[in-house]
Amino acid sequence: MAALKILTVNPGSSSLKLSLLDHDDTLLTEDAGPGHEIADIITRMPAEPDAIGVRFVHGGTRYTEPIRIDAAVTEHLHDLADLAPLHQPASLHALSEIKSALPGVPAVACFDTAFHATLPDAAATYALPAEWRERFGLRRYGFHGLSFSYAVRRTAELLGGIPPRMVVCHLGSGASLCAVAEGRSVDTTMGFTPLEGLIMASRAGSIDPGIPLWLIEHGLSPQDVNSALERASGLRGLTGTGDMRRIRDLAEQRDVNALAALDAYHHRLRACAAAMTASLGGLDALVFTGGVGEHDPSVRMRLTEDLAYLGTSIDPDRNATADGDTDMTSADASVRTLVVTAREDLEIATGVRRILTTGDESGGGRGSTC
């Protein structure tokens, strides 16, 4: 692996994180971007990076591995922006600022959709007219792939090997689950866009597709419907806030909306987790990551209790005090349950070094780590 210092740029739906990693992945510095000029953040870093890695949520069908960014790649990434309107424009904006601040430093795009390139056709196919599927590329893409890929790799390190059947729960402002068989994604809850699946902070998750059509037919504009589904639904639509900590506080005060929202959140989480285990034919490991997955013991306890029929059980004390990577499995459980700290920056850096040291910039292939 080349001795490169990598600046990773990770725009999320509600955050922007920049991390400078040394050649051995030592974290030299980390900074949150909102409210700060990226150029100013870079000037405060202890060293100039040798390469840049930028997280992009959507790579479509063209980009299933990391790829060095040039004008043609940038143009195609702009074309994909409407499929991930909370993320793709933010990544493109960050890329523009980074390239202005660091001209001449090579930049590599890493994609959340890439980990799901291994989805079998049965899991990826929507039952829509063939002409639509072929013309518009309508299929399940899946997201949070950088987080899933790192969680799988880290779980293998913690347990001494990859569990044959894993369900990884990335729970944060955006949330999705992934069924992982022998290290490869075989099913996931997000689909063509990041709107499908779980109830999220501001996104509705799966709803009857007839609802948006009905709303548009009754006078709402497509733009208003899309904005509401992306930014004003989910926990925010149910309670007025997408902050799980605030909702927990309200629930403790017996707020009716907060209690109902938690019930709906957990109902969907339980159902989707069970669906992922069905795709795997069982469960050997359950892994929590992401802001809520790492920091909310109540979410972890409730889901493992809901899945107890599969053999999940966690130690209450280890669950309550989990800080960083933690094996919470109770002595009588047949399924291992872990918390893994999300480190998408490490996964991005791995992809950047691979592309820049091997010279493979095709953007093809399947099952990339980045």
For every residue of 5-16, which 3-state class applies, written as one string? Answer: CEEEEEECCCCE
The pLDDT mean for the chain works out to: 93
| Rounded mean pLDDT, 1-20 | 81
Task: Give residue 367's pLDDT.
Answer: 41
Residue 102: DSSP 8-state: S
Position 366 pLDDT exceeds 50? no
For residue 324, give Cα distances in angstroms to 27, 47, 173, 293, 353: 16, 27, 19, 11, 26
CATH of 6-111+345-358, one of 3.30.420.40, 3.40.50.300, 3.40.30.10, 3.40.50.1370: 3.30.420.40
Per-domain residue ranges for the chain? 6-111+345-358, 145-339
**Which amino acid belongs to residue 267?**
H
Residues in contact with 69: Cβ distance below 8 Å, sequence separation at least 6, in sequence order = 54, 95, 107, 108, 109
Please name the residue that has the structure tokens 């040291």: 357
Is residue 51 pLDDT above 90, yes or no?
Answer: yes
pLDDT at 87: 83
The percentage of the chain sitting over the pLDDT mark of 90, rounded to a whole number, equals 83
Band of pLDDT at residue 1, cut at 50, 70 and 90: very low
Overall average pLDDT of the 55-76 stretch = 94
The candidate with the shortest Cα–Cα distance to 166, out of 155, 158, 157, is 155
Token pair 């150029």 is at which residue?
A: 39
Render pLDDT for 81-128 as a digit per residue (tens, 0 to 9).
888 887 899 899 899 999 999 999 999 999 999 999 999 999 999 999
Q: Other CB atoms closer than 10 Å to residue 310's CB: what's the count?
A: 18
Residue 12 has pLDDT above 70, yes or no: no
Confidence band (pLDDT; 50, 70, 90) for 236? Answer: very high
For residues 199 and 12, the model is more confident at 199
- For the cut 50, the answer to whether the pLDDT of residue 300 exceeds it is yes
Of 168, 95, 146, 158, the residue nearest 347 (C-alpha) = 146
What pLDDT does 35 receive?
54
Q: If one looks up domain 145-339 in CATH, what number appears? A: 3.30.420.40
pLDDT digits (tens, 9 = 90+) for 345-354: 999 999 999 9
Q: With cut-offs at 50, 70 and 90, classify the pLDDT of residue 33.
A: low
Closest by CA position to 288, among listed 278, 296, 277, 280: 296
Q: Are 305 and 292 in contact (CB under 8 A)?
A: no
Query: Do residues 361 and 70 touch, judged by C-beta distance below 8 A?
Result: no
Determine if residue 365 is left, alpha or beta; phi over 0 gives left, psi from -120 to 50 gives alpha, anything else beta: left
Residue 316's pLDDT is 98
pTM equals: 0.92
* Residue positions annotated with a catalytic role: 112
How far is it, in rounded angstroms, from Cα 169 to Cα 273?
A: 8
Question: Is the predicted pLDDT of residue 314 greater than 50, yes or no?
Answer: yes
Where b means 16+ CB within 10 Å and e means fewer, 183-210 reads: bbbbbbbbbbbbbbbbbbbbbbbbeeee
Q: Is the pLDDT of residue 369 over 60?
A: no
Higher per-residue pLDDT: 328 or 361: 328
**6-111+345-358 and 145-339, same CATH topology:** yes
From 247, 337, 351, 355, select the one nearest 300 (Cα to Cα). Answer: 337
